[in-house]
Amino acid sequence: MEFSGNHVGREGNAALTRERRSRSWYGMADKDGFIRRSWMKSQGFPDHAFDGRPVIGICNTWSELTPCNSGLRDLAEGVKRGIWEAGGFPVEFPVMSLGETQMKPTAMLFRNLLAMDVEESIRAYGMDGVVLLGGCDKTTPGQLMGAASVDLPTIVVSSGPMLNGKWKGRELGSGTDVRKFATAVKAGEMTLADFMATESGMSRSRGVCMTMGTASTMASLTEAMGIALPTNAALPAVDARRMALAHMTGRRIVEMVEEDLKLSDVVTRASFENAIIANAAVGGSTNAVVHLLALAGRVGVDLELADFEISGDIPLLVNCMPSGKYLMEDFCYAGGMPAVLAEIAHLLRPARTVLGSDIAAYHEGAECYNRDVIYAFDTPLQPAAGLRVLRGNLAPRGAIVKPSAATGELLERDGEAFVFETIEELKANIDREDLPVTADTFLVLKGCGPKGYPGMPEVGDMPLPAKLVKQGVRDMVRISDGRMSGTAFGTVILHVSPEASDGGPLALVRTGDRIRISARRGILELLVDDGELVARRAGWKPPPPHYTRGYAKMYVEHVLQADQGADLDFLVGKDTRPVTRESH
Ligand code: FES
């Protein structure tokens, strides 16, 4: 191929009629432009890749340490096909990957670090639009948060769920059945050998957890918010149609750059409300709360925990674990998110999507093919199943509970607290035969908030005491400042804010105290005299820090509480100014 010298754009190319962001990287006939193009050409890209066509970043969280995202290298190829076909120039780049089941102390500690990686990668490199390839729980929100702070045209392609788990003729749901089986082993109802044998049957293909856990919840919400193409959430990871979806997404992002359709045009107050409504309808994860609050902070939408109360009356339509019995593969074949959005269409706020049109057009023509998987709005699986926000002197800035995964009669009662000061104390004592608890006890766990653990892990659904499990107890009230997995279930009150380690009232609770909960009235009260609480506070000391250096130290010093999405204080908002200084 002939060297093109300073001829860096084809004459008459319509692509040059719009001044693109990438031109200040690749469009200059000077030393800086030479250096950037020349080094990119070392990969075999031809001259015309730099002729002014849209440069599209493919932000990939592929990693063998994030098994849920292990299909993303292949999907990136599909995205590239679409981008080339539409006249763009695809460039794939890696960012930190967060393997939910693999990271210690918790992947959530690193969600904001991923967001920083994504934000700075997008800002520093010469791209005009970005496709986010994520899937496992924290990767989708982390990528969206980072991308929102730069605010280019942006679209999501998710990993897609694993195939249904199978074992001895029954279906296995990742996460949800692990917990049930672990309890069954404790109760002597399942052998350890059978428990271990389910391990391989549970994960039969690549992809994210195939229950309506956090990953599939967040993927479902990308459709409810219109930031991915329709069917993104439920198409199985190994379904050929997911590759076609990736291809079509590549085509669409090039058009979005031409239309200057930015992330902030799609992620708006209305789309957040649609996400909150849809999250209730699908029986989605409680983790959606912290992720949506954090994303709202990035785009400047004034979303608060109280806004989640709009979901209280929304019925549960999707019969998927952990709130129901089916799995994501079944959800896909029943019609997936387009069918759900069609059922709740009368509740959805007008909102623009990545298609450029309103959410109403996004699900137009969608049908349900199995009413036992996706219920009709008028005959739901459960009425009024949305998340409940609880407040009171135990949680002045709020706490949440997921009624669809809880035991109804446990949501309206008083009980006596049994307190674990740390996760280590809980693990060392929960199965003691002489643990002084009954089925009516409220288990309370401290030190699991954003600062305390740190990273707000998914330990809020504490294991039940062995002695009660053997008596047939399968649920108890549990209260903490932590989170729980989207695949988990039970009467679990989460995200108590402010957290204990930050001096929240949770820090003052002692074994034997009475606590009142009412999901219906939104109450979480510690029934202890104010004078006694003042005396306890006078004697309270914050726990010593677990980390004294590095990112974790910075995280603890800057992380916001759960009711603000647990983002870092200095990452809230965005900076869309052009980068004008050169590196050479
Ligand atoms: Fe990655 Fe469930 S652990 S999606």
**Residue 230: cis peptide before it, omega within 30 degrees of 0:** no
For ligand 1, the distance from its centroid to the CA atom of residue 243, given in whole angstroms, is 20
Q: Element (H or E) spanning 94, and its range?
A: strand 89-94
Dihedral (CA of 328, 333, 337, 342) sign: negative
Q: Is the CB of 136 inside a 6 Å radius of any atom of ligand 1?
A: yes
- Rounded Cα gap, residues 263 and 295, in angstroms: 11
For ligand 1, the distance from its centroid to the CA atom of residue 68, given in whole angstroms, is 6
Q: Is the CB of 137 inside a 6 Å radius of any atom of ligand 1?
A: yes
For ligand 1, the distance from its centroid to the CA atom of residue 207, given in whole angstroms, is 8
Alpha carbon nearest to ligand 1 atom 2, residue: 209
pLDDT per residue rounded down to tens, the chain (584 residues) = 333 433 345 444 444 446 899 999 999 999 999 999 999 999 999 999 999 999 999 999 999 999 999 999 999 999 999 999 999 999 999 999 999 999 999 999 999 999 999 999 999 999 999 999 999 999 999 999 999 999 999 999 999 999 999 999 999 998 888 989 999 998 899 999 999 999 999 999 999 999 999 999 999 999 999 999 999 999 999 999 999 999 999 999 999 999 999 999 999 999 999 999 999 999 999 999 999 999 999 999 999 999 999 998 999 999 999 999 999 999 999 999 999 999 999 999 999 999 999 999 999 999 999 999 999 999 999 998 889 999 999 999 999 999 988 999 999 999 999 999 999 999 999 999 999 999 999 999 999 999 999 999 999 999 999 999 999 999 999 999 999 998 888 999 999 999 999 999 999 999 999 999 999 999 999 999 999 999 999 999 999 988 999 999 999 999 999 999 999 999 999 999 999 888 87
Q: What is the DSSP letter of 122?
A: H
pTM over 0.85: yes
* Cα Rg of the chain (Å, integer): 25
Closest ligand 1 atom, residue 159 Cα: 4
Closest ligand 1 atom, residue 208 Cα: 4
- E strands, 402-531, are 412-420, 442-445, 477-480, 492-493, 514-518, 523-526
The count of C-alpha atoms lying within 13 angstroms of the C-alpha of 474, restricted to the half-sphere facing its C-beta, is: 12
For ligand 1, the distance from its centroid to the CA atom of residue 487, given in whole angstroms, is 9
Q: Is the CB of 102 inside a 6 Å radius of any atom of ligand 1?
A: no
Could you give phi then psi for residue 337, rounded to 5 degrees?
A: -60, -35
Q: Is the CB of 209 inside a 6 Å radius of any atom of ligand 1?
A: yes
Q: How far is residue 347 from each of residues 104, 273, 341, measured CA to CA in Å? A: 40, 10, 9
Q: What is the DSSP letter of 324?
A: S
Residues 6+ apart with CB under 8 A from 422: 446, 447
Other beta carbons within 10 Å of 252:
23
For ligand 1, the distance from its centroid to the CA atom of residue 62, given in whole angstroms, is 13
For ligand 1, the distance from its centroid to the CA atom of residue 466, given in whole angstroms, is 27
Token output for 251: 């085509």
Residue labelled with tokens 């005396």? 535
- Among 62, 69, 72, 100, say which to mutate for ligand 1: greatest number of ligand atoms within 8 Å of CB: 100
Token output for 488: 């988990």
Dihedral (CA of 282, 283, 286, 287) sign: negative
- Structural domains for the chain: 10-165+201-362 (3.40.50.2300), 166-200 (no CATH), 388-543 (3.50.30.80)
CA-wise closest residue to 49 among 99, 105, 1, 106: 1
Burial group, residue 397, by CB count within 10 angstroms (0-12, 13-18, 19+): middle
- Rounded Cα gap, residues 125 and 148, in angstroms: 16
Residues 6+ apart with CB under 8 A from 216: 161, 208, 209, 210, 233, 234, 320, 328, 486
Q: Provide the pairing of β-strand 395-401 with 388-392.
A: antiparallel
